[in-house]
Structure 1
Amino acid sequence: MSDVINANPTILDDKSLPTRAEETEKVTERSLNPHLASLLDLSLVDSSNLNDQESIHSTPSLENDEGSDEEEEADPIDSQEIFDLVAHISDPEHPLTLGQLAVVNLPDIQVRDSGNKNEMAEVIIRITPTITHCSLATLIGLGIRVRLERCLPVRYRITILLKEGSHQSENQVNKQLNDKERVAAACENDQLLSVISKMLATCK
């Protein structure tokens, strides 16, 4: 907290952040109630193609149910989904989110995922601190890591880096953020966890 807060950071309108709201709603709807989702899909089909009312509740539903698990497993997580998870994390100094401050940006997120649940996948996020001498860059990166580790399957390897040239202690911070032992020790610190919990409280 020794650094002076950047009083005039670049602030983006929350509504202007890249999103995929409609698709996210569909995915959530399906995951919460696959039976309802299959019925909703059927409501889009021309009724003239249906033999009778019974077919709405029988064979099509079962076919969708059988394939739903396979579709979920085969659908890889992409950079937009990762951005949606971390963009609404609060900055520890500003009453704004990491997305609004452009600390996290969609083009700086890379996902390597074949969609095979038996193979390792990787998420690489490059963050951009609001000032080059930001003393809380490590805390911000830790907050992002905690958020992703709580939300992603265990097969995902998470790498968090400072964007090249964005911080005067870039190499040192990168090493701290990706050192398993240091991260584990930090996550056992009650004071740090309290701060991170406040940062994650604004996540959607």
Structure 2
Amino acid sequence: MVSGLINANPVVYEKKERRVQDYARQCLSNEKWDCIDIKDPEHPYSLEELKVITEDAIEVDDNHSHVRVTFTPTVEHCSMATVIGLCLRVKLMRSLPSHYKVDIRVAPGTHATEAAVNKQLNDKERVAAALENPNLLDMVDECLAPSYGNE
């Protein structure tokens, strides 16, 4: 965990039962739910438990091979917003067929630097450069680890 937390005592919510949708039987089904189970970079909770991401915030258009994820940081000045978005992007990059286009966005009005975070997360060169940083990649891999002691 990171010391000097911005939001030292976040509200933690109960995990919801997943809805089954028509496309849930296709290749995207598991990836959609797995995005929710990503660990927060600062806390021992999933993004779902912190309501950073919800099932409704993941839009999948199989016909156009497009996925859009909108997440809500726990605080307006969250210093980990870009890392959270990068975790979401990497999870989908590793899970989806390569022809899928992925958009990661901060929910409108929920972050002080929303435009800058959205630009960073949806620029291929910036994402590639971020993933070349071994410390940042280690942080992302830790958040994506399948077990983080909260099951």
Q: What TM-score, normalized by structure 1, do the two folds share? A: 0.64
Q: 1:2 to 1:11 in 2, by over 3 A?
A: closer
Could you tell me which of 120, 129, 138 is aligned with 1:185?
Answer: 129
For the 8 Å contact 1:132–1:168, the answer to whether it is kept is yes
Bigger Rg, which one:
1
Question: 1:115-170 CA distances to partner (integer Å, 9 max, x unpaired)?
Answer: xxxxx511000000000000110001001111110000011100000001110100
Alignment of 1:152-171 (within 5 A): 152-171=96-115
Residue identity (%): 42
Matched residue type, 1:106:
E
Q: How many residues are aligned here?
A: 144
Alignment of 1:102-117 (within 5 A): 102-114=51-63
Structure 1 distance, partners of 2:93, 2:10, is: 28
Could you tell me which of 64, 67, 81 is aligned with 1:123?
Answer: 67
Q: What TM-score, normalized by structure 2, do the two folds share? A: 0.85
Matched residue type, 2:51:
A
Q: 1:92 to 1:108 in 2, by over 3 A?
A: same
Select the structure that is richer in helix: 1
Report what 1:52 is aligned to. Answer: none
Question: 1:73-117 CA distances to partner (integer Å, 9 max, x unpaired)?
Answer: xx4736xx4431211111010110001111111111111112xxx
For the 8 Å contact 2:28–2:96, the answer to whether it is kept is no
3-state SS, counterpart of residue 44 of structure 2? coil
Report what 2:78 is aligned to. Answer: 134
Matched residue type, 1:105:
T
3-state SS, counterpart of residue 85 of structure 2? helix
For the 8 Å contact 1:3–1:135, the answer to whether it is kept is no
Check if 1:88 corresponds to 2:37: yes
Check if 1:5 corresponds to 2:6: yes
Could you tell me which of 172, 176, 183 is aligned with 2:116?
Answer: 172
Q: Which runs of 5+ in 1 are unaligned?
A: 28-74, 115-119
Q: Which runs of 5+ in 2 are unaligned?
A: none
Report what 1:99 is aligned to. Answer: 48
Q: How far did residue 8 of structure 1 move?
A: 3.0
Q: 1:83 to 1:17 in 2, by over 3 A?
A: farther
Matched residue type, 1:77:
L
Q: CA RMSD in A?
A: 2.3
